[in-house]
Structure 1
Amino acid sequence: MRLTVFGATGGIGQEIVQQALSAGHEVTAVVRDPSGFAVTGPALAVFRADLTAPESLREAVAGRDAVLSGLGARKRADAGITTRLTRSVLAAMEAEGTRRLVVVSAAPVGPEAPGDGLLDRTMRSMISAVLKDVYADLTAMEAELAASTTDWTSVRPPKLTDKPLTGTYRRVVGGTPGAARTISRADVAHAMLGCLDDPATVKQGVGVAY
């Protein structure tokens, strides 16, 4: 497949690029500063762009089979950036007629898992309160997806770790795995790539966790 990856310099974005290249895909990594991007490969193109300007992104998404986004706020002060940048990606995709989009969101944006105990409900409530602006941003981002013409999927992990790829995790389309506490960035990337050709995930949130 011909794939474009936004947020390619982030932890999840770099994993998407590396795993996609290893799987034989042709990848365009969209970055603001190529000097901060260390991934290389014969099937990789690095595209420098202003992510706030949809017109500058059209070339990066034109003719692609799918787009993946690891865009997200890296700290609370960045809340709001995910919605703004995703809006630019959506505008570029819609202008070029590129339909398939898989983005990363977060577990608290999705529904509570049925049967979760008091500990998990309390932890979820506390985390949501501390990061309420970040999750409000992700909720707004998902609203933009729902209003778009794209065939989108939102992958919603709990707490992220830097542990290696396992390829083994729970996945719930339209819901959240019970006692969803952690998952590695590598496995989130794996799950996002796995959604690309899965029609059951189109226009759905997908909860993932160990």
Structure 2
Amino acid sequence: MKLTVFGATGGIGQEIVRQALESGHEVTAVVRDPAKLPMADDRLEVFRADLTDPEPLRPAVAGRDAVLSGLGPHGRADAGVAARTTRTVLGAMEAEGVRRLVVVSAGPVGPEPKDGPLDRFARGIASKVLKDVFDDLRAMEAELVRSSTDWTSVRPPRLTNQPATRAYRSVVGGFPTKGRLIGRADVAHAMLAAVDDPGMSKQGVGVAY
């Protein structure tokens, strides 16, 4: 497949690019600073852009089978970046007629799992501390719903840097019970797996160990 990856220099974005290339896909990585993407491959195109205007992004998504996005806030100071940049990506995709989009969001944005009281308490604390971040991601998902794309929002809990295990759980429209952690590499794997899964179209998908 021909894939475009936004947020390609982030922890999840780099994993998406690496795993997609390992699987034989052609990848266009959209980045602000190419020096932050330490990869080289005959099937990798690095496309420099700042994500402020959909028009310059159109060549990056034209003719692609799917777009994947690791865009999102790194913390409370970045709140607002997910909705803003995703709106720009959607504008470019809709202008080019590209429909499939897979993004990363966060577990607390989706429905609450049927966990025990301790898990619900911890989730509630995280939602309060990172309220601005989760509000941004909710606004991003609202942009997806309003768009004409066949979107999927992958919603992980707390992220780690452990190597891919492929032993995570996925729940379409919900979240894995007692799911507390997942590695960025496994989130990337879940996002790539969602690309050609029609059952995940226009759905949020909770992922966790």
Q: TM-score range by the shorter chain?
A: over 0.9
Q: Which portions of structure 1, spanning 4 or more consecutive aligned residues, are displaced by more than 2 angstroms?
A: none
Separation in 2, partners of 1:101, 1:84: 16
Percent identical pairs in the alignment equals 70
Separation in 1, partners of 2:191, 2:161: 16
Within 5 A, what are the aligned runs for 1:19-168? 19-114=19-114, 116-168=115-167
1:2 correspondence with 2:5: no
Which deviates more from structure 2 when the two are superposed, residues 34-43 or residues 10-19?
Answer: 34-43
Separation in 1, partners of 2:117, 2:105: 24
Residue equivalent to 1:193: 192
Residue equivalent to 1:179: 178
- How far 1:37 moved relative to its partner? 1.2
Report the residue type matching 1:195 in the other structure.
Answer: A
- How far 1:96 moved relative to its partner? 0.2
Report the residue type matching 1:95 in the other structure.
Answer: A
Give unmatched runs, 5+ long, in structure 1: none
Separation in 2, partners of 1:168, 1:16: 17
Asked if structure 2 preserves the Cα contact closer than 8 Å seen for 1:30 and 1:47, the reply is: yes
Q: How many residues align?
A: 209
Separation in 1, partners of 2:52, 2:134: 21
- Aligned to 1:152, the other structure's residue is in SS state strand
Separation in 2, partners of 1:110, 1:200: 17
Report the residue type matching 1:197 in the other structure.
Answer: D
**Alignment RMSD (CA, Å):** 0.5
Asked if structure 2 preserves the Cα contact closer than 8 Å seen for 1:50 and 1:56, the reply is: no
Give unmatched runs, 5+ long, in structure 2: none
TM-score (norm 1): 0.99
Report the residue type matching 1:31 in the other structure.
Answer: V
Report the residue type matching 2:177 in the other structure.
Answer: G
